Homo-oligomer: A and B are copies of this chain.
Amino acid sequence: MDDFTATEARVRDSFARQTMMDTLGATLTALAPGRCVIRAPIAPHLKQQHGAAHAGLAFTLGDTAAGYSALSTMAGDTDVMTVEMKINLLSPAVGEALEAVGEVVRAGKRLTVVKAEVFALQGDSRKPVALLQGTMIPVAQR
Q: Which residues of A contact B (CB under 8 A)?
A: 14-15, 17-20, 22-23, 44-50, 54-57, 59-60, 63-64, 79, 81-92, 105-106, 108, 110-111, 113, 115, 128, 131, 133-135, 137, 142
Contacts and interface: CB of A to CB of B under 8 A. Distances in A.
Nearest to A23: B45
Given A86-B85, A128-B106, A59 B49 contact: no
Main secondary structure of the interface of A (DSSP, over half): mixed
Contacts of A60: 54-56, 59-60
A90 B134 CA distance: 11
Contacts of A17: 49
A84 B82 contact: no
